[in-house]
Amino acid sequence: MAKWMGRCPGCGEWNTVVEKEARRSKSAHSPALGIPQSVLSLVDIPDDLHARIRTGIEELDRVLGGGIVRKSLILLGGDPGIGKSTLLMQALGSLAARGESVLYVSGEESLEQLKMRANRLAVDSGTFLILAENDLEAILDRIGQVQATVMVVDSIQSVFSRMMDNQPGTVSQVRHSAGRILEWTKKGGCATFIVGHVTKDGVLAGPKLLEHMVDTVLYFEGERGHPYRVLRAVKNRFGSASEIGVFHMRDNGLAEVANPSELFLAERPEGVAGSVVTALVEGTRPILAEIQALVSGPVPGQGRRTCLGIDPQRLALVIAVIEKKLGITLNDQDIFVNAVGGVRATEPATDLALATALLSSFTDRIVPARTLVFGEIGLAGEIRGVSRTQDRIREGTRLGYNRIVSPGNRAQGMGPHPDDAQVVGVSHIKELGSSVFLRRG
């Protein structure tokens, strides 16, 4: 409520105070994200038969759960230079080539720089719209004039609102900007991608609340100097949160890798101790990957433990079981393990392959070629069954692996398998020596 004031408390002068209306954030009085004011019955809400938009990039559509859901907000994170902008420009280019109107909003690059990337990616369409702007209010004003099907905001850290005094990239600016974009996305018919940078700790810059605000969170991963990239879903309200997409970075953009198993095993050495092939399940498809282990020692004191793509806790568990149940001392050994190709072999089904690789390197005994190993190891040394056993075997036999070492209880009760595949059931870790290692290096 307005209050009369005759004397200014600052300068002490009379009749100098002027009444002004404080500017309020529009978002504070805006409707609640386009939700109808009246209460509707669930059966009265029409089904949208065209809810998903196929981008034409199968690996991206797979990770999204079958395509882009309309009115959805998708967060794509990754290290600088990993290929986030390239992937999204290719996706928008594919949509524009089919006549869809798309909008790419860049707060970090000029129009000329965007045009250079578009030429490199062979993106050229009259329905591909570009806006170089980082003022949030100006962005919302422009996109309100464009009937776009899909929009990209690259990046959320570069966008700022004039309604706030904070610098771009701060927690308050990122939260406010993402909230306004979310509000616009839900009220409009456009699906929106927002790009987020990843910090040195490997988490998305800005508040953790940002991940809770969006519908889908994707991470684009890859090792420096390595041409392969993995797109991973860590949250997805409209599909599986365990899918991955694999890409190969080339001069003219990202190429899809339709068969990741062949890619990850393409350079596997033959006749080398410490190398084992296992079967992972990522989302809806099984993938074969190589697990490598190097056991070197003895060394003075406690040996080192280094993991790449392997859960350190699972490695510690497998080492403890080997020492207890097989009587092998690994405490004074340096141990290095690696899931080749940048994959994450963190599911329990990799336990048996990890133990096999460790024993193979420690004893210098070679795992025979075309042998596939998977299974979970319990603390008592028992080998437990895992999910999707038949799918893992089917993927292995498709690539020529005709000797399958799997949990014994599952091997006995499984249905028919290819005639050229020999399934060896292992019930305890003590059986590894006779079931796997058939010759010495």
- Looking at per-residue pLDDT, the higher value among 82 and 3 belongs to 82
Q: Domain end: 257, 273, 301, which one?
A: 257
Residue 39 lies in a domain: no
User: Residue 11 above 70 pLDDT?
Assistant: no
What pLDDT score was predicted for residue 34?
A: 46
What pLDDT score was predicted for residue 240?
A: 86
State whether 339 and 238 are in the same domain.
Answer: no
State whether 228 and 285 are in the same domain.
Answer: no
Kindly state the average pLDDT of the residues 424-441. Answer: 80
Q: Domain end: 219, 240, 257, which one?
A: 257
User: Residue 440 above 70 pLDDT?
Assistant: no
Whether 417 contacts 312, CB under 8 Å: no
Tokens describing residue 341: 């190709």
State whether 252 and 349 are in the same domain.
Answer: no
Residues 6+ apart with CB under 8 A from 264: 287, 288, 289, 290, 340, 341, 343
State whether 189 and 301 are in the same domain.
Answer: no
Long-range contacts of 133-138 (CB under 8 A, 24+ apart): 133/105, 133/106, 133/107, 134/107, 134/108, 134/158, 134/159, 134/160, 134/168, 135/159, 135/160, 135/161, 135/162, 136/160, 136/161, 136/162, 136/176, 136/177, 136/180, 136/181, 137/161, 137/162, 137/163
Dump pLDDT digits (tens) for 233-275: 989 999 888 888 999 999 999 999 988 898 888 888 888 999 9
Share of the chain above pLDDT 90, in %: 61
Dump pLDDT digits (tens) for 288-339: 999 999 999 899 999 999 999 999 999 999 999 999 999 999 999 999 999 9
- Looking at per-residue pLDDT, the higher value among 34 and 228 belongs to 228
Q: Say which CATH number the domain at 333 has.
A: 3.30.230.10
State whether 130 and 221 are in the same domain.
Answer: yes
State whether 253 and 268 are in the same domain.
Answer: no
Dump pLDDT digits (tens) for 123-139: 988 899 999 999 999 99
Residue 32 lies in a domain: no
State whether 251 and 297 are in the same domain.
Answer: no
Q: Domain end: 257, 280, 303, which one?
A: 257
Q: 54 to each of 70, 229, 312, how far by Cα in Å?
A: 11, 21, 38
Whether 184 contacts 140, CB under 8 Å: yes
Dump pLDDT digits (tens) for 346-392: 999 999 999 999 999 999 999 998 999 999 999 999 999 999 999 99
State whether 187 and 291 are in the same domain.
Answer: no
Residue 13 lies in a domain: no
Dump pLDDT digits (tens) for 28-53: 444 444 445 578 888 887 776 557 89
User: Residue 412 above 60 pLDDT?
Assistant: no
The total of structural domains in the chain comes to 2
Range scoring the smallest mean pLDDT among 19-23, 121-125, 203-207 = 19-23
What pLDDT score was predicted for residue 32?
A: 43
Query: Which of 295-306 are b and which e, b meaning 16 or more Cβ less than 10 Å from the residue's Cβ?
Result: beeeeeeebebe
Dump pLDDT digits (tens) for 364-373: 999 998 999 9
What pLDDT score was predicted for residue 29?
A: 42
User: Residue 142 above 80 pLDDT?
Assistant: yes
Kindly state the average pLDDT of the residues 128-157. Answer: 93
What pLDDT score was predicted for residue 42?
A: 83
Kindly state the average pLDDT of the residues 185-210. Answer: 77
Residue 38 lies in a domain: no
State whether 116 and 246 are in the same domain.
Answer: yes
Give the relative orientation of helices 111-120 and 84-97 as an angle to the nearest 10 degrees: 70
State whether 433 and 301 are in the same domain.
Answer: yes
- Is residue 418 very low, low, confident or very high in pLDDT (cuts 50, 70, 90)? low
Find the domain containing 111 and state its range: 49-257
What's the whole-number average pLDDT of the chain? 86
State whether 430 and 291 are in the same domain.
Answer: yes
Kindly state the average pLDDT of the residues 161-190. Answer: 88
What pLDDT score was predicted for residue 366?
A: 93
- Is residue 1 very low, low, confident or very high in pLDDT (cuts 50, 70, 90)? very low
